[in-house]
Amino acid sequence: MSYTHIFAGNPFDRGDHARRDEDLLKKMVRQENTKLLPFHKLNPLIRRRTHAELAWIGYEFLDSLPEEAGGPKFLGFDSDQNPHFAVDISAVEDPSYIAALAAGAEFEDGRSAATDIPGEQSGILAQARSNLNWHAQHRFCSACGAESQSQRGGLMRECPRCKSQHFPRTDPVVIMLVYKGDRCVMGKTMARQNSTFYSCLAGFMDQGESIEEGVRREVMEESGIAVGRVAYHSSQPWPFPSSLMIGCHAEAISDVITTDPGEMADVRWFTRDEVKLALENKLEGVSVPGPIAIAHHLIKTWAYNTADM
């Protein structure tokens, strides 16, 4: 079964050929068919009329931006070859005049908006938000400390002093539904007003580590459970700030949970019937992730036996 999660499915041609021509990029920013998506403090401009959508605007507002705003970052071409850019306007104290360029649009939290906009637009949002956040966090060269410059439409930064090149990073995260027979393991992530939120175990991969090794290590660290077979399920970009969630099902070969309080507040076994109730918000005192998260789909496919594990 193939999955396209929220924050995936980006339809753009990312235009590698155009990225290598700085003069072309500067020209494209101010073409009549160019579309720009502004972000204010990493919140995208969203328009809600009959439905929610990303609110693209023209280039005319660029001349009003302060220098520290940074230039537009190239996202790619749509099917009609219209160039699309994202621009960070966080340096603008009151961005209402920019929002007004798209009638009825406002800057919204990207995580909330992603569940309302079309799926392919959530993929565009993920690309844009991750890239703008990386540029905001990596203005200076890690080799010599000089301020670096955006190149290739935002695909890299280059240091003018030592010529080091720096590229946006995506952090791989393994996330896994651990099961044994008709039971699965989930960990407590937060407490809510009337319930406790449980989800899949997860953690960042280490350098020099395979996906399977990362799954087994993280499960052992967080629960003390040994894992044998690991089966890949699907992946999800997660732009908060920029991770790739690598979803797996992992078969436990031990039962006893030994929780490290430095890793998890609580880890427990759930029966398949309990998980089904939790997915329907009917398990008293327990809630699980909604469809925006890959964890929801890992849990659901196990609960209903719809994945090859």
Q: What burial class does residue 206 get, using C-beta atoms within 10 Å of its C-beta: 0-12 exposed, 13-18 middle, 19+ buried?
A: exposed
Q: pLDDT (tens digit, 9 = 90+) per residue, 174-227?
A: 999 999 999 999 999 876 667 899 999 999 999 999 999 999 999 999 999 999
Residue 126 shares a structural domain with residue 190: no
**Residue type at 79 in one-letter notation:** S
Number of domains in the chain: 3
Do 119 and 201 have their domain in common?
Answer: no
- Provide the domain limits for residue 236: 171-303
The separation between CA 58 and the C-alpha centre of its own chain, rounded to angstroms, equals: 26
**Residue 205: DSSP 8-state:** P
In angstroms, the CA 39 to CA 255 distance is 47
60-94: per-residue pLDDT in tens?
999 999 877 789 999 999 999 999 999 999 999 99
* Listed residues 146, 169, 192: the one ending a domain: 169
Distance in angstroms (rounded) separating the CA atoms of residues 287 and 303:
15
Alpha carbon distances (Å) from 269 to 194, 254, 258: 20, 12, 12
CATH classification at residue 219:
3.90.79.10
- 41 lies in the same domain as 125: yes
Q: Please tell me the pTM assigned to this model.
A: 0.94
Q: What does the chain come to in residues?
A: 309
229, 269: one domain: yes
Residue 221 located in a structural domain: yes
- CATH code at 119? 3.90.79
Does 153 reside within a domain? yes
Judge contact between 53 and 121, C-beta under 8 A: yes
